[in-house]
Amino acid sequence: MYQIRFRILIAFLFLINFSQTSLAQNKTLSQKETAKLIKDARANRINGDYEKSLLKSRVALEQAIKNKDNTLIANSYLVIASNFDELTEPLKALHYYNLGLYYVNKTNDNTLKNQFYNNLGNIYCFDKKQYDKGIFYYKKSLELSQTVLDRKQIFLTKLNIAWAYFDIGKFVEGFTYLRYINKYQSIDGDDSTIVALHMLNGMYYSFINNIEKATIFFEKAIELGTIGDEKSDLSYSYLEYSKFLNKINQPKKAYDNLILYYKITNELNIEEKLIKANVIGVNLEIDHYKREIDKIEATYKIKQNRLIEEQSKNKKIAIIVLFLLLCVIIFFYFFVQNIRLKQKNRLKDIRSKIQENIINASIDGQELERKKIASFLHDNISSLLSSAGLHLNVFTSINKAQPEEINKTKEILEEAHNQIRNLSHELMPTLLVRFGLLYALEDLCEKTSNSRIKITFNSSIAIKKRYNEEFEMKLYFIIAELLNNIIKHSEATTADVTIKEIENKLFIVVSDNGNGFMDSKLEVTEGFGINQIRARINNMKGEFIINSILNKGTTVSLKIPIVH
């Protein structure tokens, strides 16, 4: 016995040396070579050669990690966990299933995911007796099986779910799955499932107290399990049949079946021990193996974390650079837009200034022409007409006989003189020239008033005060135009012209109680309109404000620096 163990130990050490020298050397295997190694490890496990399977799967894991292939890493963990599962080391198997699950979830391999979920369901239900978790993983496995249309796996998973539900007494929940496997046993089942199926039928009929059918199914399960040498399912069949017999008050028969259950269970335990015994120093070596695998995993995780940190750092730098670039682009865009807007406003101001200058030049020309024409009419034409009239008067006083033509000529000359005088006063009021702005405005308000509108003039300035002649003339015609607009458009019944002097500025307010208007509907009128008034005031460095309320009236405020 000692020599046999020694030989096996030498063989085991040789395998370790072989794995470390020929497979785990610095050279990285290709993905194809790694996949072949996993395939060989899986075949060794199926053949019961767990040592070779574990060694090859460890090397395959190391190579898969070097290749950064999540599918190969997951497959390696699946083989390792399956080895421990069959060596009845459920805790170690669970550890590696969970490690592999992390990697398989990074892939799109639903078939591989299905294997992990199904095996996790087996461990939680049949080893750890945590049925809620087990059923959760079974259902995830079932979902994936239905996605990839794996009928065989769907059948097996539903069988396991039914069994799990029945184990915890949830027969109603499990019956749906039992009905499915009864229907498809002939298509998707085999000799390895028929025993469990009959046992589950027996459990269900026991639950609904159908003693006859329950007995038939339990006995058929035991018969088929004995013929097919399905020891595991046969042992469970004896156990459940024993519970059923005890339930229907057949204690002797129940005891006999329970003895058979213990007998087969002991045989299975002995076989498991033999399997473990064939793996030299399995407990010690498995712990060592686990440390090696954990070391590989830890090394990989460290490298992966460093890579993630580096990627995160680079990502942050890239985001900052992009953000700064975006800020520069936005700043440049708004800078260009601001320049364009300033240029546009400057151009608009220039155009407005040119327009104002044109308007002011036109008005200045009109006022100058008014003054010249008024002066010419008053000083020349009016004087000539007066002189002609005097000569006619002298002639008529000498000659008593006056022809009708002479009298008519005198009347015509007098009428022409009066019309020319009136026209001269309209072009340039005499009061404005002789007595100044305040006299002229007071007279203007009085003359403009009529039965429809009463215009009142208010002034806190001495009426005899004079200003620059040109300044007075400009203000007079501005106020005259404002009053003209009131009469034409406002339909007002009262209006006021108020003027006062404060700190070398004239404050003039022209208001009425007329229709008013919306600011948005203020239109430019022809001739000496609002735009012309605004341009004139701007040229005088003054301020021009209109406040109007629809149906309540309009107020125009002027503030103009005085020119002495």
- The model's pLDDT over 186-232, given as tens digits with 9 standing for 90+, comes to 898 888 789 999 999 999 999 999 999 999 999 998 898 888 878 88
Three-state SS annotation for 223-254: HHHHHHCCHHHHHHHHHHHHHHHHHCCCHHHH
Integer CA distances (angstroms), 298 to 57, 70, 309, in order: 17, 16, 16
Which of 542, 545, 563 has the alpha carbon at shortest distance from 554?
545
- Statement: residue 560 has pLDDT above 60: yes
- Residue 317 pLDDT: 87
Which of 242, 277, 282, 284 has the alpha carbon at shortest distance from 259?
242
- Segment 407-426 shows an average pLDDT of 64
**Whole-angstrom Cα distance, residue 193 to residue 415?**
137
pLDDT tier at 371, thresholds 50, 70, 90: low
- Residue 3 pLDDT: 40
- Residue 232 pLDDT: 83
CB 40 within 8 A of CB 56: yes
pLDDT digits (tens, 9 = 90+) for 121-174: 989 988 888 999 999 999 999 898 888 888 998 999 999 999 999 989 999 999
Largest CA distance in the chain: 184
Name, of 311-315, 366-370, 545-549, the range with top average pLDDT: 545-549
Written as one string, the DSSP assignment of 237-304 is HHHHHHHHHHHTT-HHHHHHHHHHHHHHHHHHHHHHHHHHHHSTTHHHHHHHHHHHHHHHHHHHHHHH
- Residue 208 pLDDT: 92
CB 84 within 8 A of CB 103: no
Higher pLDDT, 522 or 532: 532
Q: Which residue in the block uniquely carries the two structure tokens 């779910």?
A: 161
- For residue 17, the surrounding DSSP H or E stretch is helix 2-18
Antiparallel, parallel or unpaired: β 505-512 and 494-502 = antiparallel
- For residue 53, the surrounding DSSP H or E stretch is helix 50-67
pLDDT digits (tens, 9 = 90+) for 256-269: 888 988 888 888 77
- Residue 494 pLDDT: 93
Which of 83, 156, 167, 184 has the alpha carbon at shortest distance from 124?
167
Which pairs count as long-range contacts for 333-341, CB under 8 Å and 24+ apart, including other chains? none
CB 197 within 8 A of CB 185: yes
CB 509 within 8 A of CB 498: yes
Integer CA distances (angstroms), 159 to 156, 176, 210, 546, in order: 5, 10, 21, 92
Written as one string, the DSSP assignment of 127-169 is IS--HHHHHHHHHHHHHHHHHHT-HHHHHHHHHHHHHHHHHTT
The alpha carbons of the chain give a radius of gyration, in whole angstroms, of 58
pTM of the model: 0.49
- Statement: residue 524 has pLDDT above 50: no
> How many other CB atoms are found less than 10 A from the CB of residue 45?
22
- Statement: residue 353 has pLDDT above 80: no
- Segment 306-327 shows an average pLDDT of 83
**Whole-angstrom Cα distance, residue 229 to residue 19?**
37
Q: Which two tokens stand for residue 489?
A: 């458009």
pLDDT tier at 23, thresholds 50, 70, 90: very low
pLDDT digits (tens, 9 = 90+) for 467-504: 888 888 888 888 888 888 888 888 889 999 999 988 88
- Segment 59-76 shows an average pLDDT of 88
**Whole-angstrom Cα distance, residue 534 to residue 314?**
63
- Statement: residue 377 has pLDDT above 60: no
Which of 181, 174, 112, 100 has the alpha carbon at shortest distance from 141?
112
- Segment 367-390 shows an average pLDDT of 59
DSSP 8-state code for residue 26: S
* Burial degree of 510 (CB within 10 A; 0-12, 13-18, 19+): buried
Average the pLDDT over each of 40-54, 410-424, 428-442 and give the range with the smallest value: 410-424
Integer CA distances (angstroms), 261 to 232, 334, 482, in order: 10, 86, 120
* 463 three-class SS: coil
Torsion angle of alpha carbons 233, 235, 240, 246, nearest 10°?
160
- Residue 226 pLDDT: 87
**Whole-angstrom Cα distance, residue 391 to residue 385?**
10
Integer CA distances (angstroms), 177 to 58, 88, 120, 139, 250, in order: 38, 28, 19, 11, 30
Residue count (the chain): 564
Mean pLDDT of the chain: 79
- Residue 282 pLDDT: 45
- Segment 513-532 shows an average pLDDT of 63
